[in-house]
Structure 1
Amino acid sequence: MRLHHTELSDRILGGWLGRIAGNMLGKPVERGDHWTRERIDRYLRRTDALPLTDYLPPPPADAQPGEFELRPEWPQCVRGRIRGSCRDDDIDYAVLGLHLLEAHGFGFTTEQVGAMWLRRLPYLQTFTAERVAYRNLVNGLKPPQTAVHENPYQDWIGALIRADIYGWTSPGDPVRAAALARRDAALSHHGTGVHAAMWAAALVAAAFTAQGPRAALDTALAQIPPDGRLARTVRRTAALHEAGAGWSETLTELTESTGDLHWIHAVPNAGVITAGLLHGAGDFTTTIALTVRGGLDTDSNGATAGSVAGVLCGAGAIPPQWTAPLRDQVRSAVIGFDRVRIGELAERTVRLAATV
């Protein structure tokens, strides 16, 4: 199914806006070992922000010292104070991936991904698996050794957050999206970490033509090994939803089954994203609100869920409280892209997608 140019443009802009808005929503509480589901909701009740229908409110004026330890960037990403997007790696990698495809086309190699990082991405703006891979590149290693040498983060969420651009540029083609994401992910991840990127890219690509989030999730699952822990967690989350379990009950079950994994590991975060998409039922605000309230890597999960929800509904259907404060502007550490317009990024993405 080939989308009309107008619809394609609206869906891709929806993906960019959704990713940025979801990231901004989750950024103040990004620390899963501290900001649990319970603590996030306690904060929202304390600030009279439940149900959550806008960006997080600032801390209450009478908060006690240490009561709410938001990330240092919180003054730039809470409601009433947002003046364009904050800089964040969840957005940097989407920007960098766009530049990679413009420079090298869809036949890019993993080595070219690494070279692009070295040219355009500051080392101190990388984290966990990406920082290890960056260091390995500087020390002369080549893929796949860059992903496995002294890298304890191979299964974490880093490659997943880099995958959206491959879905946006493969509308309705999850097989192609997963293959592109796999080539990118191999620079820094192995095994489950790579499969998580393939799943996310396929999920975004499927959202262009799927009849809702469940159909997109089912399509994305077909692109990863069915017996892996990632696929089993996503299937279990979907099964709980189908059986009528509530959102909170589902996440409690996920915590019990994946609680042995780090809060930045790809598997539990994929479960939170899946729950947010299913219980959000295609509504943009509900989807990103539930996903961020689910805890763990809140800004990354909000970004991915926001991207999928934005593609599903299109930019025109995203409520203005999420988009207006962004002022059509991205802050980015990617050299040459700071303060670029969101609309320009979307237009450049559409040009790539239209060649498919």
Structure 2
Amino acid sequence: MNKNFFKYSAFALALLGSLSSSPVLAQQSLPKQVKIKPEVLKDKLKGGWAGQVIGVTFGGPTEFKFNGTLIPDYMTIPWFDGYIKNTMIKSPGLYDDLYVELTFVEVMEQKGIDAPVEDFANAFAHSEYQLWHANQAARYNLLNGIKAPESGHWHNNPHADDLDYQIEADYAGLMTPGMPNSASEISDKIGHIMNYGDGWYGGVYVGALYSIAYVSDDIQFVVNEALKTIPAESDFYKCIADVIKWHKQYPNDWKQTWFEIQKKWSEEAGCPAGALSAFNIDAKINAAYIVLGLLYGDGDFTKTMEISTRAGQDSDCNPSNAGGVLGTILGYSHIPKYWKMGLAEAEDIDFKYTNMSLNRVYEVGYKHALEMVKKNGGKVTAKEITINVQQPKAVRFEKSFDGIYPTHKISFWNKPMAKEFTFDFEGTAVVLQGVAAKADNVKEDHVFDLTIYIDGKEIERTKMPTDLMSRKHEIFWKYELPKGKHQVKVVTNNPKEGYSIRVHDATIYSDQPVDGIHAHDGKE
């Protein structure tokens, strides 16, 4: 490893001392019951929430700026006293992963921990914050009559395997100490609002990591045990199992494991922005970076932050998840002072678009955790909390984009669409990307009414709002077409001066992967 890699980290460790410890024996199994003092449980819960905020703040400046590559060793990632407060006030949009999950926490506080999915979906759909990818596709679906769980299904959401619920699922584990199956039940209900298959598994796995982190301080055990909640036949399971295997094979070289992850798991199939691109918002590869940070960080907060961030891609949300899990293991009081500097002055600031601050969610989250302990047959007294620990069970198997492989893109260079827009392609599926736009001098929004035809047959009538909050992420998509040549025609039923549909590109899919090494255009 490059000796400069931990130049910044070494400075922090020199101030704080290493947090790593070597257990005499690795933990072999979860206990059936755990007794814990209330102050210890609350300290762990606070550590989980604080760890998230620390991680996302630290990784914020690098988010999706290093796609398919490592953040170089010589690049110092800033951290200083007052940084958290300053970021929360001046860049509140950075905390999108937190304010989405806090929406769900607020619903539970208002409607109860067993509130129906409709309450969560309605609060999510009508929230005031901007959303992207699976979240925005789900919001559009909900606002246009497609209810959960169909709002997250890959037939209705081209971003079903994206990491959206993965970065928002921390609350499910933090409110279920030692109860990973209860966390999975919560994620089954809420995670399917926006995700399906591997995208949903990302949230299930993160929830299980937190749940088990309450009752074990053996990071390797936590990572392995949480994986039992994921079906072994899923790609998500296989990806994380590979990271665990490579960590054993290369225990002192996280970069070698990073390269192994790239070689095997960096090809994106679902997200049309990530397919055939270095950009990768897929849940499993970003979850691999979370696990990379946890395993090679080995209980050291600085190493965990550095590695999970320097792996790239969604390099603010990944250290947020990793920092939250490690914060739960350590407890708030044992997160190094270096990483908590300036945190106290930010803990009373409400996250934008919510009525929740860190201090507020410490209280509410603790209340929900106690409710879940009692719901699972545990006991709560003033001096002791008895948790009936659940042995993790795999959730049901789901697979998005089965038998669908991206082959090429057709670029339309963001040109404005005429009243009718036509193009041809050969394959089994297509996603047409574009946006509804308005001229700079136009204030009012417009909702385009479009009719989509494939091979002369009408397949969809859809709306394209220019409003950012209710926008449709893609113009249209159609999977599972007969293999062969097809023609697409998009008709604008209500064109309006000053407004346009800007067409970006079409991602084309087939039922077989293309061998890019040997593929050519027919010309020798």
Shorter-chain TM-score: which interval? Answer: 0.7 to 0.9
User: Deviations along 1:297-324, whole A, 9 cap, x unmatched?
Assistant: 1111011001100001011111122222
Q: Match for 1:127: what amino acid?
A: W
| Contact 1:182-1:195 at 8 Å conserved across structures | no
- Match for residue 182 of structure 1? 188
Query: Among residues 217, 223, 239, which one is paired with 1:233 in the alignment?
Result: 239
Partner of 2:58: 25
- Tell me which residue corresponds to 1:315: 332
Name the structure 2 match of 1:281. Answer: 298
Higher share of residues assigned helix: 1
**Amino acid corresponding to residue 280 of structure 1 in structure 2:** G
User: Counterpart of 2:36 in 1: which secondary structure?
Assistant: coil
2:43 matched residue in structure 1: 10
Please give the alpha-carbon distance, in whole angstroms, between the structure 1 residues aligned to 2:179 and 2:365. 15
Q: How do 1:50-89 and structure 2 match up within 5 A?
A: 56-57=77-78, 79=80, 82-84=83-85, 85-86=87-88, 87=92, 88-89=95-96
Distance (Å, rounded) in 2 between the aligned partners of 1:300 and 1:330 = 20
Question: Is the deviation greater in 324-333 or in 217-226?
Answer: 324-333
Query: Residue 173 of structure 1: which of 151, 176, 179 is its match?
Result: 179
- Ranges in structure 1 where 5+ consecutive residues have no aligned partner: 50-55, 58-77
**TM-score, normalised via structure 1 length:** 0.85
Match of 1:291 among 308, 319, 342: 308
Give the SS at the match of 2:342. helix
Q: Which residue of 2 aligns with 1:130?
A: 135
Q: Read off the aligned partner of 1:15 and give its amino acid letter.
A: G
How many angstroms does 1:180 deviate by? 0.7
Q: Please give the per-residue CA displacement for 1:190-220, whole angstroms capped at 9, x wherever unaligned.
A: 1111111111101111100123111111221
Query: Which amino acid in the other structure matches residue 314 of structure 2?
Result: D
Aligned position for 2:108: 101
The aligned amino acid for 1:346 is Y
Q: TM-score, normalised by structure 2?
A: 0.58
CA contact 1:155–1:191 (8 Å) conserved in 2: yes
Letter in 2 for 1:215: F
**1:158-192 deviation line (CA, Å, top 9, x unaligned):** 01111111111100111111111121111111111
Given the superposition, is the C-alpha separation of residues 294 and 83 from structure 1 closer, same or farther in structure 2, using an over 3 Å criterion? Answer: closer
Q: Does the Cα contact within 8 Å between 2:107 and 2:120 map onto a contact in 1?
A: yes
Task: Give, as a single letter, the amino acid of the residue that structure 2 aligns with 1:234.
Answer: I
Which amino acid counterpart does residue 123 of structure 2 have in structure 1? M
RMSD of the alignment, in Å? 1.8
The corresponding residue for 2:214 is: 208
Q: Percent identity?
A: 26
State the Cα distance separating 1:115 from its structure 2 match: 1.2
Shift of 1:283: 1.6
Higher Rg of the two aligned structures: 2
User: Structure 2 stretches of 5 or more lacking a match?
Assistant: 1-33, 269-273, 275-279, 374-524
Greater strand content: 2
2:121 aligned with 1:90, yes or no?
Answer: no
Match of 2:284 in 1: 267
Taking a change above 3 Å as real, the CA distance of residues 112 and 2 of structure 1, as seen in their structure-2 partners, is farther
SS of 2:341 mapped into structure 1: helix
Matched residue, 2:464: none
Are 1:324 and 2:341 matched, yes or no? Answer: yes
Corresponding residue of 2:368: 352
